[in-house]
Structure 1
Amino acid sequence: MQTPKFTTHTPSFHAELKKRINDYFTEKGISPAGNYKLWTKGLILVVGFIALYVHVTFFTPASMWLAWGECIILGCLIAGIGFNIMHDGAHGSFSNSPVLNKAAAVTLGVLGGSHFMWNMKHNVIHHAYTNVDGVDDDIDAKPFLRMASTQKRYKMHKYQHLYFWFFYCWLHAFWIFFSDYKKYFTKKIGDIPLKKMSFKDHFYFWFHKVLSYCMFLVVPSITVGVVPAIVGFMTATLAGGFILSIVFQLAHTVEHTSFPMPDVVTGKLEDEWAVHQLKTTANFATKNKAISWYVGGLNFQVEHHLFPKISHIHYPAISKIIKKACEEYNVTYIEYKYMTTAVASHIAFLKEMGKA
């Protein structure tokens, strides 16, 4: 399908939101980028990851269960670095420094992914056309899962609300061993063509792939043996993959989110961009500080989609402004009080999508 267009409205709800948020930062005299709170958290995650990697790789515990537990924690740290450092860096909000933002963003390469592919898939496509089937690659899990009513239903989807846990665990492994390569060689993300890659883009794609494989498979194979290395890596990547999957799915594929499709004649979506984002995005557990700290504010997904260039450390404050504006403009603000209720809603959503 062709890239859809958004409807424009006067007065613009998006323009009003931007004005209120800009006024907030001006009045407070603060930058919308990250600050010492984010950098301290980033340092904790990176140091923790390096220390645990070194310990389990070069000073492997004699106890198999302890080593296995360390690999699970390593997977949790991989997800945490992705949520807090890579994600803010990729959106240019980790710091006011372009150099620091780039350094934060390319941590994805060390963890096995391609920053170039992520930027196109997430920043360019997903953030613009959230939940638009045929464009947003994040809701394309065919044939294993049916994430929209416009997608083809298979008999196995009747049970997808039971077996989705298994497939979510494989996200990270699928991403670094298959998905990136599919995009690279087909030069497309779904049906959307990739922008032309420069020599530097090609070089870093392959450099980071080799670096991550050496780090997670080759070196551990030398220090602990091939089989333990594979078991340890799979333990870490399955743990990290599940966490990454569930956090992102709770933001868009729950009972109350919409899956708008463009008009077949005009190619236009019904709403203006900001309203579209509010209809397709949900928050969860925003009062839980531990969850907010670990997932990099991605439980404030509404705020992130409306203002992706603002660091997640500001989301709790600006969420109050956005909620008030939604009330005034009669726009629904979707939020689940607890993570457990959001998970239950996601399961209910999958069950509904699995029905004939």
Structure 2
Amino acid sequence: MDKVKRPVFQRPKPDDFYMKLHREVEETVLKNDYFHKLNIAKAFLFVAMYFGFYACILLFGSNTALLFFFYILLGFTTIMLFINAFHDAAHGALFKKPKYNHAFMYVLELFGTNNWLWQKRHIGLHHPLPNVPDWDIDIKQSDIIRIFPNSTLLNAHKYQHIYMWFIYPLYTLNWLYLRDFKDFFGNKDNYVKQLTKIPTVEFYKLFAAKIFNLCYLLILPILLLPQPWYVILGAWFVYHFSASALGVIALVSTHVDEDAAFPIAPEDGKFQTTWAEHQMIVTKDFSADSTLANFIYGGFTHHVAHHLFPAVAHTYYPHITPIIKKYAKEYDLPYTCYPFTHAVRSHFRLLKNCGHPENILRTGEL
């Protein structure tokens, strides 16, 4: 693909809200080291849960009900470990020493994918340019779904609010066995390759991770358990359905509801907002007051705080969010928090709306 100019934002002024916000957060919330230690403890709790549930599959999997039960729990734990611990490590927010964060990121290889590629997608494109058409490939993943109003409209899209209920449960399977290969080997709209050249070693690591993941999650139970192979294969599919269901709630609740903004980069590549203002406009929280939701989803429930402070442990976010709300009100910037049920319903209303010619009011420059 041809090289295109990467969009940029305005420089903040001395009285910019983010300068004041950042100063207050530094002076109050971030001085408490307890939340950093809590984050590490939570990360290792999820690691222990992951290996514990996997061990239960091998120990108790001769019972079909328990086999499926522990595969389901393993699927849920996969997403919780990813969202809470790996996600923080990838942002340099889990440990204070970078080498420990880098080592922990190999959790993603345990799941069968590639942490180098994920970083390029998420940290290299999504965080700098969230909701910007073409650039934010965390949102634009496949032509089968139309979210950006400037994307090509296909006849099938008029039904996407229906068929995506059946496709979203396949999210992790698509990630592992389609999307990774598309980003590594494809060239169409490949913004990862615009950022950097993929190191040769990452190709080997990609295949090694997928083989290892299939060996311990599928082949080893088939070899060790007194179950028909198709029963274990079915449980493996249920594992992916469970992981996808939990993960998709986070994915659809923070950026892509029916009121979402999708600012198109100007021709000169210069937005009229600052980076922090952009984050406030395109990012939303969900179920931020729920202790259970915060435990399961970490920095995704307080997603505005995450986008403004990506290098800070998510256990600080419940204490940062009230400060964000205060400055959002002072500077007349949007802050939105929905219950996750509202956010999910709103996402499917977005899909229904985007299945028809776009509303011009939902696009344009910020």
Query: Cα offset for 1:259?
Result: 0.4
Equivalent position of 1:134 in the other structure? 134
Cα distance in 1 between the residues matched to 2:241 and 2:115 = 21
Q: Who is 1:23 aligned against?
A: 27
Q: CA deviation at 1:161?
A: 1.8
- Displacement of 1:74 in angstroms is 1.2
Residues 201-257 of structure 1, C-alpha deviation per residue, up to 9 Å, x if partnerless? 444333323221211222122123532332121110121022212211110001232
CA contact (8 A) 1:165 1:242 kept: no
> Contact 1:137–1:189 (CA<8 Å) still a contact in 2?
no
- Higher deviation after alignment, 320-329 or 92-101: 92-101
Give the one of 310, 313, 316 matched to 1:311. 313
The number of residues matched between the two structures is 350
- The alignment status of 1:109 with 2:109, answered yes or no, reads yes
Distance 1:183 1:117 in 2: 8
Equivalent position amino acid for 2:102 in 1: K
Aligned partners of 2:8 and 2:192: how far apart in 1? 14
Q: Tell me which residue corresponds to 1:242.
A: 245
In the alignment, structure 1 residue 145 sits paired with structure 2 residue 145: yes
Query: In structure 2, the residue corresponding to 1:269 is in which secondary structure?
Result: strand
Change (3 A) 1:213 1:156: same
Deviation of residue 261 (structure 1)? 0.6
Question: Which position in structure 1 is the counterpart of 2:352?
Answer: 351
> Corresponding residue for 1:119?
119
Question: What are the residue-to-residue correspondences of 1:185-334 with 2, within 5 Å?
Answer: 185-186=185-186, 190-193=190-193, 194-198=195-199, 200-224=201-225, 225-264=228-267, 266-334=268-336
**Aligned residue number for residue 100 of structure 1:** 100
Q: How far did residue 148 of structure 1 move?
A: 1.6
**Residue segments in structure 2 that go unaligned for 5+ positions in a row:** 358-366
% same residue: 27
Normalising to structure 2: TM-score of the pair? 0.89
- Residues 29 and 319 in structure 2, CA contact (< 8 A), matched pair in contact too: no
8 Å contact 1:7–1:273 — kept in the other structure? Answer: yes
Q: Aligned to 1:271, what secondary structure does the other structure show?
A: strand
Shift of 1:37: 2.0
Please point out which of 6, 10, 15 is paired with 1:7: 10
After superposition, residues 53-68 of structure 1 pair within 5 angstroms as 53-62=54-63, 64-68=64-68
Shift of 1:187: 6.9
In structure 2, what is the Cα distance between the partners aligned to 1:200 and 1:191?
Answer: 20
TM-superposed deviation, 1:9: 4.2
